Structure 1
Amino acid sequence: MRWVRFFEEVGLEDVPLVGGKNASLGEMIRTLTPLGVRVPEGFATTSEAYRYFLRENRLEEAIARELSALDPLDPKALQGASRRLRNLILKGAYPEDLKEEILLAYRTLSERAGEEALPVAVRSSATLEDLPTASFAGQQESYLYVQGEEDLLLHVKRAMASLFTARAISYRAHMGFDHLKVALSVGVQRMVRADRGASGVIFTLDPDTGHRGFVYLTAIFGLGENIVQGRVGPDQYYVHKDTLRQGYKALVAKRLGAKELTLVYDPEEGRLKNRPTPPYLRSTFALKDEEALLLADWALRIEEHYSGKRGAPTPMDIEWAKDGVTGELFVVQARPETVHAQRAPVLKVYRLLARGEVLAEGLAVGEAIASGRARVLKDPKEMDRFQEGEVLVTETTNPDWEPIMKKAAAIVTERGGRTSHAAIVARELGVPAVVGAVGATRAIPEGEEATVSCAEGEVGRVYRGRLPFEVEEVRPEALPRTRTQILVNVGTPEEALKASLLPTDGVGLARMEFIFASHVRVHPLALTRYETLPKEVRRQVDELTEAYRDKRAYFVDTLSQGIALIAAAFYPRPVLLRFSDFKTNEYARLIGGHLFEPKEENPMLGWRGASRYYHPDYKEGFLLEVAAVKRVREEMGLKNLMVMVPFCRTPEEGMRVLEAMAEGGLKRGEDGLQVYVMAEIPSNVLEAEAFAELFDGFSIGSNDLTQLALGLDRDSERVAPLFDERRETVKRLCALLIEKAHAKGRKVGICGQAPSDYPEFAAFLVERGIDSLSLNPDALLRTVRVVAELEARLGVS
Structure 2
Amino acid sequence: MSKNIIWFNEIGIEDVSEVGGKNASLGEMYRNLTQEGVRVPNGFSVTATAYKYILDHNGLWEKLHAQLDDLDPDNVQQLQERGAACRDLVYHAKIPEDLKNEILQNYAKLKEEYGESLSVAVRSSATAEDSPEASFAGQNETYLHIQNEEELLDSYMRCLASNFTDRSLHYKYDNGFDYYKVYLSAVVMKMVRSDIGASGVMFSLDTETGFRDVVFINAAYGLGENVVLGTIDPDSFYVHKPTFNKGYRAVLKRRLGSKALKMVFAEEAHVSNMAVEYTKNIETTVQERKRFCITDEDVMVLADYAIKVENHYSQKAGFRKPMDMEWAKDGSDGHLYMVQARPETVESRQSGSVLKLYHLKEHGDILTTGRAVGTKIGAGKVHIINDAKEMDQFKAGEVLVADITTPDWEPVMKIASAIVTNKGGRTCHAAIVSRELGLPAVVGAVSATDVLKNGKEVTVSCAEGETGYVYDGKLAFEIQETDLSALPKTKTEVMMNLGDPDIAFSLASLPVDGIGLARMEFIINNDIKVHPMALKHPEKTDDATRKALEQLTDGYDDPETFFVKRLSEGVATIAATVYPKPCVVRMSDFKSNEYASLLGGKFFEPSEDNPMIGFRGAARYAHPAYEEGFALECAAMKRVRDEMGFENVILMIPFCRRVEEGQRVIDTMAKYGLKQGENGLKIYVMCEIPNNVISIDEFSQIFDGFSIGSNDLTQLTLGVDRDSEVVAFDYDERDPGVLKMIEMAVQGAQRNKRHSGICGQAPSDYPEVAEYLVKLGIDSISLNPDSVLSTLPKIVDLEQKLGRSA
**What are the superposed Cα offsets for residues 251-282 of structure 1, whole Å, 9 maximum, x if unpaired?**
11222111010011122566311111100011
Cα offset, 1:129, TM superposition: 1.1
Q: Pick from 669, 680, 699: which aligns with 2:677?
A: 669
In 2, the alpha carbon distance for the partners of 1:429 and 1:157 equals 31
Given residue 589 of structure 1, which amino acid in structure 2 is its aligned partner?
A: S
SS in 2 for 1:44: strand
SS in 1 for 2:504: helix
Q: Which residue number corresponds to residue 132 of structure 1?
A: 132
Q: Say if 1:642 and 1:675, in contact at 8 Å, map to a contact too.
A: yes
Q: Pick from 774, 798, 804: which aligns with 1:790?
A: 798
Q: Which residue number corresponds to residue 43 of structure 2?
A: 42
Range moving further from structure 2, 593-602 or 414-423: 414-423
Given residue 197 of structure 2, which amino acid in structure 1 is its aligned partner?
A: G
Q: Pick from 414, 419, 429: which aligns with 1:411?
A: 419
Q: Which residue number corresponds to residue 376 of structure 1?
A: 384
Cα offset, 1:467, TM superposition: 0.6
Cα offset, 1:132, TM superposition: 2.1
**What are the superposed Cα offsets for residues 600-648 of structure 1, whole Å, 9 maximum, x if unpaired?**
0011111001110111111111011011100111111110111111111
In 1, the alpha carbon distance for the partners of 2:735 and 2:625 equals 38
Range moving further from structure 2, 544-553 or 358-367: 544-553
Cα offset, 1:133, TM superposition: 2.2
Range moving further from structure 2, 439-448 or 603-612: 439-448
Cα offset, 1:384, TM superposition: 1.6
In 1, the alpha carbon distance for the partners of 2:776 and 2:379 equals 45
Q: Say if 1:579 and 1:644, in contact at 8 Å, map to a contact too.
A: yes
Residue 471 (1) aligns with residue 479 (2): yes
Given residue 569 of structure 2, which amino acid in structure 1 is its aligned partner?
A: Q
Q: Say if 1:389 and 1:409, in contact at 8 Å, map to a contact too.
A: yes
Instruction: Give matches, 1:512-523, under 5 Å.
Output: 512-523=520-531
Q: Say if 1:488 and 1:499, in contact at 8 Å, map to a contact too.
A: no
Q: Pick from 288, 291, 301: which aligns with 2:298?
A: 291
* Runs of 5+ consecutive residues of structure 2 not aligned to the other structure: 271-277
**What are the superposed Cα offsets for residues 552-606 of structure 1, whole Å, 9 maximum, x if unpaired?**
2221122111111112222111110000011111111111100000010011111
Q: Which residue number corresponds to residue 181 of structure 2?
A: 181
Given residue 606 of structure 1, which amino acid in structure 2 is its aligned partner?
A: G
Given residue 173 of structure 2, which amino acid in structure 1 is its aligned partner?
A: A
Q: Which residue number corresponds to residue 506 of structure 2?
A: 498
**What are the superposed Cα offsets for residues 281-305 of structure 1, whole Å, 9 maximum, x if unpaired?**
1111111111110111111111111
Q: Pick from 307, 310, 318: which aligns with 1:303?
A: 310
Cα offset, 1:68, TM superposition: 2.0
**What are the superposed Cα offsets for residues 401-424 of structure 1, whole Å, 9 maximum, x if unpaired?**
111111111111111111111111
Given residue 301 of structure 1, which amino acid in structure 2 is its aligned partner?
A: K
Given residue 717 of structure 1, which amino acid in structure 2 is its aligned partner?
A: E
**What are the superposed Cα offsets for residues 467-524 of structure 1, whole Å, 9 maximum, x if unpaired?**
1111111121112221111111112111211122211111001010011011111111
SS in 1 for 2:734: coil
Q: Which residue number corresponds to residue 667 of structure 2?
A: 659
Q: Pick from 314, 325, 328: which aligns with 2:321?
A: 314
Q: Say if 1:406 and 1:429, in contact at 8 Å, map to a contact too.
A: yes
Instruction: Give matches, 1:184-333, under 5 Å.
Output: 184-268=184-268, 271-333=278-340
SS in 1 for 2:180: helix
Given residue 576 of structure 2, which amino acid in structure 1 is its aligned partner?
A: A
Instruction: Give matches, 1:362-761, under 5 Å.
Output: 362-761=370-769
Q: Say if 2:442 and 2:462, in contact at 8 Å, map to a contact too.
A: yes
**What are the superposed Cα offsets for residues 378-407 of structure 1, whole Å, 9 maximum, x if unpaired?**
122211221111111111111111111111
**What are the superposed Cα offsets for residues 47-67 of structure 1, whole Å, 9 maximum, x if unpaired?**
111111111111112223322
SS in 2 for 1:181: coil
**What are the superposed Cα offsets for residues 19-59 of structure 1, whole Å, 9 maximum, x if unpaired?**
11001111111111112111111111111111111111111
In 1, the alpha carbon distance for the partners of 2:455 and 2:485 equals 43
In 2, the alpha carbon distance for the partners of 1:56 and 1:97 equals 12
Q: Say if 2:292 and 2:555, in contact at 8 Å, map to a contact too.
A: no
Given residue 659 of structure 1, which amino acid in structure 2 is its aligned partner?
A: D
In 1, the alpha carbon distance for the partners of 2:556 and 2:177 equals 54
Report the CA distance shift for 1:533/1:549 in structure 2 as closer, same or farther (over 3 A).
farther
Q: Which residue number corresponds to residue 53 of structure 2?
A: 52
- TM-score, L = length of structure 1: 0.98
Cα offset, 1:548, TM superposition: 4.3
Cα offset, 1:105, TM superposition: 1.2
Cα offset, 1:447, TM superposition: 0.5
SS in 1 for 2:577: helix
Q: Which residue number corresponds to residue 119 of structure 1?
A: 119
In 1, the alpha carbon distance for the partners of 2:45 and 2:558 equals 52
Q: Say if 2:495 and 2:781, in contact at 8 Å, map to a contact too.
A: yes
Q: Pick from 330, 346, 363: which aligns with 1:355?
A: 363
In 2, the alpha carbon distance for the partners of 1:232 and 1:550 equals 27
Q: Which residue number corresponds to residue 274 of structure 2?
A: none
**What are the superposed Cα offsets for residues 656-705 of structure 1, whole Å, 9 maximum, x if unpaired?**
11011011110111111111111111211122111111111111112111
Q: Say if 1:132 and 1:341, in contact at 8 Å, map to a contact too.
A: no
Q: Which residue number corresponds to residue 172 of structure 1?
A: 172
Equivalent residue pairs, number:
796
Report the CA distance shift for 1:549/1:342 in structure 2 as closer, same or farther (over 3 A).
closer
In 1, the alpha carbon distance for the partners of 2:544 and 2:477 equals 44
In 1, the alpha carbon distance for the partners of 2:473 and 2:165 equals 37
Q: Say if 2:423 and 2:446, in contact at 8 Å, map to a contact too.
A: yes
Given residue 260 of structure 2, which amino acid in structure 1 is its aligned partner?
A: E
In 1, the alpha carbon distance for the partners of 2:403 and 2:730 equals 51
* Runs of 5+ consecutive residues of structure 1 not aligned to the other structure: none
Cα offset, 1:180, TM superposition: 2.1
Q: Which residue number corresponds to residue 29 of structure 1?
A: 30
Cα offset, 1:456, TM superposition: 1.0
In 2, the alpha carbon distance for the partners of 1:112 and 1:225 equals 27
Given residue 211 of structure 1, which amino acid in structure 2 is its aligned partner?
A: F
Cα offset, 1:749, TM superposition: 1.1
Q: Say if 1:413 and 1:434, in contact at 8 Å, map to a contact too.
A: yes
Q: Say if 1:490 and 1:499, in contact at 8 Å, map to a contact too.
A: no
In 2, the alpha carbon distance for the partners of 1:163 and 1:559 equals 49
**What are the superposed Cα offsets for residues 107-166 of structure 1, whole Å, 9 maximum, x if unpaired?**
2112222116x3211111111111122211111111112221111111111111111111
Q: Say if 1:20 and 1:127, in contact at 8 Å, map to a contact too.
A: yes
SS in 2 for 1:633: helix
Q: Which residue number corresponds to residue 6 of structure 2?
A: 5
Given residue 471 of structure 1, which amino acid in structure 2 is its aligned partner?
A: I
In 2, the alpha carbon distance for the partners of 1:286 and 1:697 equals 44
SS in 1 for 2:233: coil
- Percent identical among aligned pairs is 54
In 1, the alpha carbon distance for the partners of 2:381 and 2:759 equals 41
Range moving further from structure 2, 55-64 or 188-197: 55-64
Q: Say if 2:291 and 2:554, in contact at 8 Å, map to a contact too.
A: no
Given residue 156 of structure 2, which amino acid in structure 1 is its aligned partner?
A: V
**What are the superposed Cα offsets for residues 221-246 of structure 1, whole Å, 9 maximum, x if unpaired?**
01110000101111111111111111
Given residue 162 of structure 1, which amino acid in structure 2 is its aligned partner?
A: S
Cα RMSD over matched residues? 1.3
Cα offset, 1:722, TM superposition: 2.3
